[in-house]
Amino acid sequence: MNNIKEIKNEILNEKYYEIDHSSGLKIFVYPKENYSSCYAIFGTKYGSTDNCFKAGENGEYITVPEGIAHFLEHKLFESEERGAFERYSETGASANAYTSFDKTCYLFSCTGNFSESLEILLDFVTSPYFTPETVKKEQGIIGQEIKMTNDEPSWALLFTLLKAMYKTHPVSIDIAGTVQSISEITAELLYECYNAFYNLNNMALAVAGNVSIDEVLAVADKILKPSEKKQIERKFENEPKEVVSKYAEKRLSVSRPLFALGYKEDVKGVRRTLKQTLESEIMLDIIAGRTSYLYEKMIESGLINTTFYSEYFEGLGYGAHIFSGESENPEEVRRRIDEEILRLQTEGVDRCEFERIKKKHYGKFIMGFDDVDAVANFLINDYFNGDSSFDGLSILESITFEDINRRLSESIDVNNSSMSVVKAE
């Protein structure tokens, strides 16, 4: 028996359905009137940071090679009979997948043959097939992917920063692993990870666009078998509050130095609430967004250029406010950002700036709900974070000027930051 709940938002004038499917899977269906296309995403709460875990009551903790979640993502497309891409080629759907720090998702978009494509998606993700031969072949392909990302300055910048900030937390591990670590992956290990995390109770399906609940449930009922709930426990070593080092560098062929400055937040091993995340985003705009005095001064003085941006980076057991860009003098950028943060922590933020930026985020929230791929991704991300996709708007409305000042004081310590720089010789 499937339990269906309708969730509406009056401002957007839209609704979606949240379904507890009889198999254990959480399903979201977001119909979009007058749209031609559909986007479906089937994800598991398993990513690169889940490298030490146990599943089931009597299991032991195991530590797996770095990059195995991503490796598993690649291998699931293969089958003893016909691979997923070959099957999709008959329906015309455009398919892809990705692995991030905390989830792995398989997706497709289409305008026709939706049910057939959904059947393929649900079937291949729930039908693993790993052999020593197919594992060996993939090591070559993923080896090339790793080398490709190793040439990307922005990727190197991020992971150099994460290694400087995090001593034990696996967020500092490259999502694809290394050429060495993936050589240790075996078919048996892939099955171990699969059986632990690809349990429907640990997964979710979101579909948005020209689709109905009945269509989705008809396929889900046909393909999905009931999944016994399994306790998954992830093990993380204690992560110290302090950064590992204040500065780290990597050499790559770049036209000018790239920098990423991260202020490590003391998160006490838990995730931020949606309210805290939204507060952080508003706060970052106030500190150094494109309309801030700091941004204007740094741009006009030639210290940064228009590549400068900021983001709040968070997940289970980690959180950081990061400022990135290009500069011939990253240390000066750091000094100025530190100075501005201290000034705002002392004097408080400007009320007019706060109101304008809050209105900006309101507009961004509205705009996010036009694209079917964005909508489906929000549904999956928010569910895995323990949030509900429409909640953002009401939470945003509730954020006060005082909330931002408090968040600024509590979440950033200028004495606890790291900076990574990528530069040529």
Partner 1 sequence: MSNVKYNETAEGIRLLCVNTGKFKTNYISIDLFVPIGEDLPAQYVLCSLLAHTSRDYPTFKSFNSKVEGLYGASFDSGVSSYGDNVRLTYCLELPDDRFALYGDKPSEEAIDFLINILLNPFCENGKFDGETAKREVRFTLEDLEAKKNDKRAYALSRLKQLMCEGEKYGVDSEWLENGVCEVTPERLFEAYKNLLSTAQIVVTACGTLSQDMLSEKMTAFAKNIENRKPVKLTSEFVTKPNEVRYFNESMKMMNQAKLVIGIRSGMKNDTDDYYPYRIMTDVFGGGPYSRLFANVREKLGLCYYCGARLIRQKGIIFVQSGIEKDNYGKALEEILNQLTVMKKGEFTDEELESSKKALADAYCGVEDSPMGVCTYYASQCFSDEIISGEEEAQAFLAVTREDVIKCAQRAVVDSVYLLSGEENDE
Q: Which among 10, 14, 57, 73 is annotated as catalytic?
A: 73
Of 61, 132, 140, 229, which one interacts with partner 1 (CB under 8 A)?
140
Encoded one letter per residue, x for contact with partner 1 by CB under 8 A and - for no contact, window 246-285 reads -----xxxxxx-x---------------------------
- Tokens 């309309």, residue located: 291
The distance of closest approach from Cβ of residue 254 to partner 1 in the complex, given in angstroms and rounded to an integer, is: 5
Cα–Cα distance between 158 and 388 in angstroms, integer? 29
Q: What is the spatial distance between Cα 126 and Cα 76, in angstroms, rounded to a whole number? A: 9
Element (H, E) at 231: none
Q: Which is nearer to partner 1, 144 or 231 (CB)?
A: 144
Which pair of tokens denotes residue 393?
A: 């708007």
Tell me if 228 sits within 8 A of 26, measured CB to CB.
no
Buried/exposed 342-354: b ≥16 CB within 10 Å, e otherwise: eebbeeebeeebb
Residue 190 sits in the site that holds partner 1 (CB under 8 A): no
- Chain positions 395 to 424 lying near partner 1, rule: CB under 8 A, are 424
Least CB distance from residue 36 to partner 1, whole Å? 5
Specify the stretch interacting with partner 1 by CB under 8 A; choose among 52-60, 159-167, 339-347, 365-373: 365-373
Contacts of partner 1 in 19-58 (CB under 8 A): 32-37
Distance CA 377, CA 252 (A): 33
* Beta-sheet strand order (sheet of 232-234): 62-63, 52-55, 232-234
Q: Does 95 bind partner 1 (CB under 8 A)?
A: yes
Of 360, 388, 413, 414, which one interacts with partner 1 (CB under 8 A)? Answer: 360
Residue 70 · residue 48 · CB < 8 Å: yes
SS3 (DSSP) at 321? strand
Q: Please name every residue paired with 94 in a beta bridge, in sequence order, or none if there are none.
A: 109
Select 11 or 342, whichever has its Cβ closest to partner 1: 11
In the complex with partner 1, the residue whose CB is nearer, 142 or 196, is: 142
Least distance to partner 1, CB of residue 208, Å = 10
- Ramachandran assignment for 385, one of left (phi > 0), alpha (psi -120 to 50 degrees), beta (any other): alpha
Q: Bridge partners of 17?
A: 6, 29
CB of 272 to partner 1, least distance (A): 22
Question: Are the C-beta atoms of residues 26 and 150 closer than 8 Å to each other?
Answer: no
CB of 100 vs partner 1, minimal distance in Å: 18
Asked if residue 77 lies in contact with residue 83, where contact means CB atoms within 8 angstroms, the answer is yes
Residues 327-356 touching partner 1, rule: CB under 8 A, are: 356
Tell the smallest beta-carbon distance from residue 171 to partner 1 (Å).
23
Q: Is the dihedral of CA 206, 208, 213, 214 positive or negative?
A: negative
Q: Which of residues 224-253 bind partner 1 (CB under 8 A)?
A: 251-253
Size of the site for partner 1 (CB under 8 A): 72
Using left for φ > 0, alpha for ψ between -120 and 50, and beta otherwise, residue 34 falls in left
Scanning residues 147 to 176, which ones bind partner 1 (CB under 8 A)?
147-148, 150-153
Cβ nearer to partner 1, comparing 196 with 395 = 395
User: If binding is defined by CB under 8 A, does position 184 make contact with partner 1?
Assistant: no
Percentages helix, strand, coil for the chain, rounded to the nearest 5? Answer: 40, 20, 35
Q: Which of 131, 195, 273, 291 binds partner 1 (CB under 8 A)?
A: 291
425 interacts with partner 1 by CB under 8 A: yes
Q: Closest approach of Cβ 289 to partner 1, in Å?
A: 8
Pair 22, 34: CB distance under 8 Å: no
User: Least distance from C-beta 371 to partner 1, angstroms?
Assistant: 5
Identity of the residue, 363 or 386, whose beta carbon is nearer to partner 1 in the bound complex: 363
Interaction between residue 11 and partner 1 (CB under 8 A): yes
Instruction: Return the number of the residue (165 or 375) whose C-beta is nearest partner 1.
Output: 375
Contact status: 89 vs partner 1 (CB under 8 A): yes
86 has catalytic annotation: no
Q: Which stretch binds partner 1 (CB under 8 A): 22-30, 43-51, 289-297, 340-348?
A: 289-297
Measured from the CB atom, the residue of 54 and 360 that comes closer to partner 1 is 360
Does residue 81 touch partner 1 according to CB under 8 A?
Answer: no
Nearest to 220 by CA among 40, 418, 419: 40
The answer to whether residues 396 and 365 touch, using CB atoms and an 8 Å cutoff, is: yes
Q: What would the two tokens of residue 390 be?
A: 């429409």
Catalytic residue positions? 73
